[in-house]
Amino acid sequence: MTIDQINFENKKALIRVDFNVPLDENFKVTDATRIQAAKDTIIHVLEKGGSVILMSHLGRPKNKENDFSLRHVVDTASDILGVQVKFVEDCIGEVAQKAAQDLQPGEVLLLENLRYYSEETGGDSAFAKALSQLGDVYINDAFGTAHRAHASTAVIAQYFEEKCFGLLMNREIDSLDKVMETPERPLVAILGGAKVSSKITVIENILTKVDDLIIAGGMAYTFIKAQGGKIGDSLVEDDKQSLALEILAKAKETNTRIHLPVDVVIANSFSELATMDKAAIDQIPDGWMGLDVGEKSRELFHEVLQSAKTILWNGPAGVFEMEPFANGTIALGKSVAMATKNGAFSLVGGGDSVSAVKQFGFADQVSYVSTGGGAMLEMLEGKTLPGIAAIKG
């Protein structure tokens, strides 16, 4: 069942959103991307004559601390939706039930933090049932938590006849399908970030699906050292060297082209104020560490990306948080943006890559920026996500 097939006239839609947004010391929302992302689904229900009850978590509260109250996001949500969002100080029980019952078509109610109850993360069915009594229709639009088997994401769906994905969730699933199931070729994946260990299952799952795999960021040094290169004091996982060699051997078998950096920007300490130099990636002197890809690597990656018809980007090329070592990631962003402009479909996902494309102004120059880091990684690993399985059945 899709959102377009449901008649929302005079119905209450209970929507699981991801309003887990960052707050400053005055409890003001500093990045409203996730609230903005949920807008289309909420407005759809309101325009079709329904009312909306929003449920979300915020942070990891231990004892219902005020710091984690969803009350803090009400003003921002009201501004974005153009509707005064009502708030209730609980998510189950009499107070919540009364607030839900009193809701009129066209109105929006936000429930208090689901994680004020440990039953939420425990996937408790009685808690899920109590939540389900607040609405007539269930919509899951929280891709960022779809990989969690929580009460509000995976357990609750069984209590509804009418249930569907929200518009955001559909876009996420469609975008990943476009990359993983029905890509236009060549399909190029960029995997960056610090560690091979956090991406092993992703690499293993996509190795047979991609035509080209660009390995950047800190994890490249494990591959270089495994092949006998000198990497100085660069980040390395010594216990993953044999695995790196296995991945390279498997890539040969599957005709997947792996592209590693050939040169790097090196520094004599992990600091913006460090002395900097350049080196071939397999000739880094002792006492120096690679913190970004060099110019030759950027050109090499650019060429590979310009031939792509589908691009998946997960992880930065260097320590982009420090300005002197951000150029490799910026160059990747420019290359992906150019390929997209020339007709490639590009999907960016994973916390650091999303931060980078936003920070450097590429967010509107790629095809899709995923809102769920952990959920996207698990889909790339080939896992079935509980929040998706609960709706698909």
| CA-based nearest residue to 38, from 119, 133, 108 | 108
Residue type, 134: L
| Binding site, annotated residues for (2R)-3-phosphoglycerate | 34, 115, 148
**Catalytic pick from 39, 86, 129, 195?**
195
Looking only at the bridges linking them, the beta strands covering 263-267 and 289-293 are antiparallel
195 labelled catalytic: yes
**Cβ(347)–Cβ(367) under 8 Å?**
yes
Pick the catalytic residue from 11, 16, 34, 163: 34
Residue 324, preceding peptide bond in cis (omega within 30° of 0): no
State the CB neighbour count (10 A cutoff) for residue 310: 23
Q: How far is CA 366 from CA 34, 343, 369, in A?
A: 18, 10, 7
Q: Catalytic residue among 48, 229, 351, 358, which?
A: 351
Annotated binding site for ATP, which residues? 199, 290, 321, 350-353
For the question of residue 34 being annotated catalytic, the response is yes
Binding annotation for substrate: 18-20, 34, 57-60, 115, 148
To the query of whether residue 278 is one of the catalytic residues in this protein, the response is no
Could you give the count of Cα atoms lying within 13 Å of 43 in the half-sphere of its Cβ? 14
Q: Cα(206)–Cα(192) distance, rounded to whole angstroms?
A: 14
**∠ CA 367-372-375 to the nearest 5 degrees?**
115
Please report, in range form, the residues annotated as the binding site: 18-20, 34, 57-60, 115, 148, 199, 290, 321, 350-353
- In this structure, which amino acid lies at residue 86? K
Q: Are 137 and 109 in contact (CB under 8 A)?
A: no
**Residues whose CB falls within 8 Å of the CB of residue 311, separated by 6 or more in sequence, listed in order:** 187, 188, 189, 190, 305, 336, 339, 340, 344, 345, 346, 347
- From the list 39, 71, 229, 374, the catalytic residue is 374
E strands, the chain, are 12-16, 51-55, 86-88, 108-111, 137-140, 163-165, 187-191, 212-215, 230-231, 257-259, 263-267, 276-280, 283-284, 289-293, 310-314, 345-348, 368-369
- Percent of the chain as helix, strand, coil, to the nearest 5: 45, 15, 40
Q: Is 351 among the catalytic positions?
A: yes
Active site residues: 34, 195, 351, 374
